[in-house]
Chains A and B, each alone.
Chain A
Amino acid sequence: MSGRRFGGAYSPGAKPGAKAGAARPVAPQSRFSGAPASRVDIRARLMFVLPAPLMVNAILAIIGGNVVETALSLLSFALLMTGAWLLSEGQKAAQAYEARSVARRPAIPRKIIAAVLAGAGVAAAQFAGPTGGLFGAIGFALLATGSHIVAFGIDPLANKGIDLNEAELARVADAIDGAEETLREIGAMADGIRDREISERLASLSDEVRALLRRIEADPRDLTRARRYLSVHLVGAHEATRKYAESHAALDDPTLREDYLTLLSELEDSFMRGRDKMLADDKVDLEVEIEVLRDRLGQEGAADRR
C-alpha cells in the first residue's frame, strides 16, 4: 500500500520561492466544493432504530420454536427497515431536486412507498402481537401511513425547469446527472492514485466543471454551448485519469506524471475559458436586447412628439 504524497517548502517538486516555515495557503478547493450536500434528518434515522424489538422477538421466537410468530416478526422488521431505507433515499432525492433549478421528478416515489411500508410493517407487528385483530391492524396501519406522510411529506411529483418541454428537460437533467457521475468517478480514482498534487489538480478541475454545471442549471439553453466541454473534455479527463490510475504504479515514469498534470491544467483552463465565453455571450445578448429596447423607446418617443 502506498502512502499519500505530502510535501512542504523543501519537498521534491516544491514551487521555487516558497518560504520555509511560512504557512502554506490552504487551498479552498476540495472535491466536495460546489457539490450538493446530502442530509438525512434525525427523524429518518430514528426510523431504523424503532423496529429493533421486532428483531429481538424474532430471535426469541426462533428459540421458542414458534414459526408463525418468527415469520411475522421478521416480515414486520423487514418492511419497517425497507421503509426507513426508502425514506432516507427519498429525502436525498428530494434534496437533490430542491437544489436544482432544472430537475425531473424522482422516477420512484420513495417516500410514498416508505409510508405504505411503514403501515404494512405495523400491521404485521399487530398480527404477531397478542391482540392480533384485523381491525386493530388496519387502524394502526392507517395511523402509521398517515402520520408518516404528514411527518416526512411525499416525493416531488412534477418536473421543474424553465420553459422546457419534457424532452429538453430530460436532456439537460441527463447531461447534468452524467457529468456529476463522471466527476464522482474521477474523485474516486483520484483517491486511488494517492498523489497530493494530482488530487488538488483534479479537485480544482472538478470545481470548474461544477461551476459550469451550475451555469447550465441556471440557464439550460447554455447546454448546447457547453456540450463540447461535457462530452469531449470531461470524458477525456475521465479516460486519462482512469488510464493513469491503472498504469502509473507499474510504469513509474515521472514524464508520464508531468504530461498528465499538464493535461489537467489545460483542461481546467479550457473549462474556465468556456465559462468566460458563456458569460461574454450572455453580455452580448443583453447588450443587443438593451439596444433594441432603446431603439423602440426612441421611436415611440419621437412618434409621441409628432
Chain B
Amino acid sequence: MSKPWVGWLAFAVLAATVAVSSCQVLSARSVAPEAPLAGAEQGR
C-alpha cells in the first residue's frame, strides 16, 4: 500500500459498511412494533 491515508480511508468505508449493516438490523427491530398499529388505523 503506497499511502497510509488510503488504508485508513478504506478502513473507514469498511467499518461504516459493517456498522451500518449490523446496526440497521437492530434499528429495524426498534421501529417494527409500530407497523401493526399503522395497519390497524388503516382498517378503521
Contacts and interface: CB of A to CB of B under 8 A. Distances in A.
Interaction A to B: yes
Interface of A: 43, 46-47, 50-54, 56-57, 60-61, 69, 73, 76, 80, 118, 121-122, 125-126, 128-131, 140, 143-144, 146-148, 150-153
Contact of A118 (B7, B18, B28): B18
Contacts of B14: 118, 144, 147-148, 151
B1 interface: yes
B29 interface: yes
Which DSSP category, helix, strand, loop or mixed, fits chain B's interface? helix
Contacts of B19: 50, 53
A130 B28 contact: yes
Given A151-B7, A151-B10, A151-B11, A144 B25 contact: no
A69 B8 CA distance: 32
Interface residues of B, number: 20
15 contacts: A43-B11, A53-B22, A53-B23, A54-B25, A57-B22, A60-B29, A61-B29, A118-B14, A122-B21, A128-B25, A129-B21, A129-B25, A129-B28, A150-B6, A150-B7
Interface string B1-35: 10000111011011101110111111011000000
Contacts of A57: 22, 25-26, 29
A264 B31 CA distance: 69
Interface of B: 1, 6-8, 10-11, 13-15, 17-19, 21-26, 28-29
A126 B7 contact: no
A73 B25 contact: yes
Contacts of A51: 18, 22
Nearest to B24: A129
A131 B28 CA distance: 9
Contacts of B6: 150
Contacts of B11: 43, 147, 151-152
Contacts of A47: 18
Contacts of A54: 22, 25
Contacts of B22: 50-54, 57, 76, 80, 125
Contact of B13 (A50, A53, A128, A147): A147
Contacts of B15: 46, 50
A153 B14 CA distance: 13
B27 to A, nearest CB: 8
Q: What are the 3 closest A-B residue pairs judged by CB atoms, nearest first?
A: A150-B10, A125-B21, A130-B28
